[in-house]
Amino acid sequence: MEQRQHDARFNAEILDVVIVGAGFAGLYMLHKLRTLGFSAKVFEAAEDVGGTWYWNRYPGARCDVESVQYSYSFDPALEQEWRWSERFATQPEILRYINHVADRFDLRRDIVLNTRIKAAEFNEKSGHWTVTTADGATIEARFCVMATGCLSASRLPAIDGLDRFAGEVLHTALWPREQFDFTGKRVGVIGTGSSGIQAIPLIAAQAQHVTVFQRTPNFSVPARNWDMTDDYERSWKENYPALRKRARESTWSGTLYEFSDKGAMEVDEATRQAEYERRWQTGGANFMHAFNDLLLSEPSNETAADFVRGKIRQIVQDPRTAEALLPFDHPLAAKRICVDTDYYATYNRDNVDLIDVRREPIEAITPDGLRAGEREHVFDTLVFATGFDAMTGALNAIDIRGREGHRLSDEWRDGPRSYLGLMVAGFPNLFTVTGPGSPSVLSNMIVSIEQHVDWISECLCHLRETGIDLIEAETTAQTEWGQEVNAAAERTLYPRAGSWYMGANIPGKARMFMPYVGGLGNYRRICAEVAADGYRGFRLQGIPSAAAISA
């Protein structure tokens, strides 16, 4: 690999690979490339590693995949030495784990923190990417890997008067590092997606009063979290190789659940209700696997949705509040199903009110609070739990330019298109980890991350061994893969919800189902077959030398 001094500030030659983002994906990508002999550096906007688990430190932030599965599998010693304290790990524990990994594998020496990447441009003559930081420094590399995360571009709604509010303004995805004290405060919470559902019970337990502004009610199931037991931990650690293999290759999401081999309508009503109740008491997203067709059949889905609505009515004591919390506008889990601790019961507290903004729209933020439905609400603190510009937001925030200066954001104006969620036609040597068109957010993210990192690494080794300089998705292959992604989605109930999977939470964003819903095991096989077939659907080429061009 060609090397020359380029920017002393980063002690960087012309790198083999620039990696953007120091979350789970960026850390494993760096570790993997190092072991294979590639020079690489990670650039991260935050003050430390962690990605989404660095920024999302709001009260109650917790993973909805069991901790023994939401963890790296690439190193058996790491699997055995780390001890999780709970079934579903909290944000602080996950962040400690990520920091442990960064230290254990000595990754920090190749991670540049407090450095936001604002642009990345492909030079067709050199075949290199020039990456530019927010303060104007540049780094040159042969390959660029975007490990920017699918849920990392936070969204703040455009509400008139926000800049005039006199109190504190918080966003769940940009939470301050210092613990925030809500004691004695009047708090307005805007949004009841996953972060709102997790945060509201803890904020309400501390604040003087909480008013929740809900646009769309979401389905949520109880976590039933518990402290990790020695027996449960041992059952995983003694069988990790076989369990991980089954999760990777034989499941739809890369997570092992208690799977059913029956459809909901194949059993009688009493059996169906008993199974839903058992799953409800067990807790977690395992509820959605009570029957094997809950995201394929509308009648089957409705039986599960109706069960959850019945639970909401049972838990929430005020009938009007309970009815406002009932979701009717989308199938159960067509929007990401939430996993909570005492969310619905929180509305039984005397210091919690719910405002349905479909009936009382938020008109403006005022210096003292906000106005909704011609009513004035006074707050000391506003908490925005309004989510993300998912999957594409972080990538579009960077001025990425490929061949002939074409911008990625322009190419994706009508919706993101990629080949396998790994590369985009017209953008050679640019890889996206868990990008749109891959299982991504529908899966156990770490399982998907490891598969993408391994595939990219093997691809780079192939290019090095064969003396090939460039790899680029073919337009035809990208189009055909987009058709497969759309067809897979249409076989399910997912497109029937106005979800962030569809980009529906962002005004003006093109509506299309972004992740691949054909199953992680199936997707892995497709990626492996593509590579084995000489990287079918990709164009591989060398860069003509200056002598060859002049001749």
pLDDT, one tens digit per residue, over 228-252 is 999 999 999 999 999 999 999 999 9
- Joined together, the tokens standing for residue 302 give 């409705």
Cα(106)–Cα(244) distance, rounded to whole angstroms?
25
Answer yes or no: are the C-beta atoms of 433 and 508 closer than 8 Å: no
Distance CA 341, CA 343 (A): 6
Name the residue type at position 249. Answer: E
Paired tokens of 427: 């953008």
In order along its 551 residues, the chain shows pLDDT tens digits of 333 333 433 455 799 999 999 999 999 999 999 999 999 999 999 999 999 999 999 999 999 999 999 999 999 999 999 999 999 999 999 999 999 999 999 999 999 999 999 999 999 999 999 999 999 999 999 999 999 999 988 888 889 999 999 999 999 999 999 889 999 999 999 999 999 999 999 999 999 999 999 999 999 999 999 999 999 999 999 999 999 999 999 999 999 999 999 999 999 999 999 999 999 999 999 999 999 999 999 999 999 999 999 999 999 999 999 999 999 999 999 999 999 999 999 999 999 999 999 999 999 999 999 999 989 999 999 999 999 999 999 999 999 999 999 999 999 999 999 999 999 999 999 999 999 999 999 999 999 999 999 999 999 999 999 999 999 999 999 999 999 999 999 999 999 999 999 999 999 999 999 999 999 999 999 999 999 999 999 999 987 554 333 33
* Cβ proximity of 308 and 219 under 8 Å: yes
* Burial classification of residue 93, based on how many CB atoms lie within 10 Å of its CB (0-12 exposed, 13-18 middle, 19 or more buried): middle
The tokens of 321 are what?
Answer: 């509040």
Token pair of 432 as six digits? 């996206």
Please give the structure tokens belonging to residue 75: 């190193």
Spatial neighbors of 387 by CB under 8 A, at least 6 apart, are 151, 154, 155, 173, 191, 193, 195, 500, 505
Q: Measure the CA–CA gap between 499 and 506, rounded to whole angstroms.
A: 10
Q: How far apart are CA 217 and CA 278, in angstroms?
A: 24
If you write DSSP's letter for every residue of 89-121 in order, what string do you get? -BHHHHHHHHHHHHHHTT-GGGEE-S--EEEEE
Rg of the chain over all Cα atoms, to the nearest angstrom: 24
Exposure of 420 in the CB half-sphere (CA atoms within 13 A)? 28
Q: Three-state SS string across 298-362, please?
A: HHHHHHHHHHHHHHHHHHCCCHHHHHHCCCCCCCCCCCCCEEECCHHHHCCCCCEEEEECCCCCE
Cα 89 to Cα 267: distance, rounded to the nearest angstrom: 35
19: Cβ contacts below 8 Å, ≥ 6 apart:
26, 29, 30, 33, 40, 41, 42, 43, 145, 147
Phi, psi of 243 (to 5 degrees): -70, -45
